[in-house]
A and B are shown apart, each in its own frame.
Chain A
Amino acid sequence: MSAHSHVDGQLPHEPEKATLEGRNKVLGFWLFLGAETVLFGTLFSAFLALRHQVGDGNPSGQELFELSTTAWATFILLTSSLTSVFAIQSMHTNKVKSMIVWLIITILLGLGFLGLEIVEFANYVDEGHKFSTSAFSTSFYTLVGFHGAHVLFGILWIGILIAQIFKKGLNVTTAPKIYVAGIYWHFIDVVWVFIFTVVYLMGKVG
């Protein structure tokens, strides 16, 4: 599979770019992220257009949002981005064990973020902020929920990749997958930066 075999099973540095297939995978993934950007952009624009359409007697974002919850979620996701970049660095220096450890920490932080979001949504539903309550609530759940679904997908994806690494080891075929999953995880974090800014902070301001 590899373009050139490596003595003693040594990997090239930047194993994700060692083969044409790997390089194409990375480039293709960036184009996918461009499309993802558009997808989230449409959800953001819908939210921006509808965020004041609360209706009579329904809770507004200003009443619902708690900055401390959002701050914790942000901190957790930022840290998970850092741990995933550590995983990629471990991969570049061919330290498979530490790469797996960092990936597992990333997954755990992602689960923590999801847990916070689920509790937050459950609280909102208790306060009468359901999916079909108002145009604001629908666009809110669609945007933030879509991001949460991306986090969940990332967790499953990285989990499966770890299993594959255990089975097949780190080589020029599996390395691009890890690298691309890392980029995906950062992208989730980047989207969250705009969510906490546009949805929560601006919602709190009014």
Chain B
Amino acid sequence: MSSQHSSVEEQAKHHKHEGPKKHIIGFIMSILLTIIAFSMVAAGEINTTFIYIFLVLMACVQVFIQMGFWMHMKDRGHLYPIIGILMGVFVVFTIVIMAEYWAWW
């Protein structure tokens, strides 16, 4: 039993399993970005266009962090997942642009 346990640990070391550290850093970064975004809105009296751009930027940064850290996208062998999700994002981008700048013109 003990020998099995040590071999598992050895293999684990060999495979370089990530500890929770990176995920906790990602979590703290996400929380910080969220707090910044919320406090910007709570503070009020800031130029509307600026705050819109700022908020979307904050969201995009947070999504990159979450996808990289938590959805394992920065790990090896994720080329096809990245292509798949990027195709989705591309379509979304065109749809949203259409709705925002076209529908009411």
Q: Which of B61-105 contact A (CB under 8 A)?
A: 62-63, 66-67, 69-72, 77, 80-81, 84-89, 91-93, 95-96, 98-100, 103-104
B78 nearest CB neighbor, chain A only:
A30
Interface size on B, residues (CB 8 A): 53
Given contacts A34-B87, A37-B88, A67-B38, contact A78 B98 (CB under 8 A): no
B41 in contact with A205 (CB, 8 Å): yes
B99 nearest CB neighbor, chain A only:
A45
Residue interface bits A49-63, CB-to-B below 8 A is 1, else 0: 100000000000000
Q: Check: A35 CB closer than 8 A to any chain B CB.
A: yes
B23 to chain A, nearest CB (A): 5
Q: Find A30's partner among B40, B42, B84 (CB 8 Å cutoff).
A: B84
Count class of interface residues, chain A: 35 or more
B47 to chain A, nearest CB (A): 10
User: What are 29 A-B contacts defined by CB distance under 8 Å?
Assistant: A8-B4, A10-B8, A27-B80, A30-B81, A31-B84, A33-B84, A34-B84, A34-B88, A35-B88, A38-B91, A38-B95, A45-B96, A45-B98, A45-B99, A48-B99, A49-B103, A67-B38, A70-B38, A71-B34, A74-B38, A78-B27, A78-B30, A85-B70, A86-B20, A186-B71, A193-B59, A196-B37, A201-B41, A202-B55
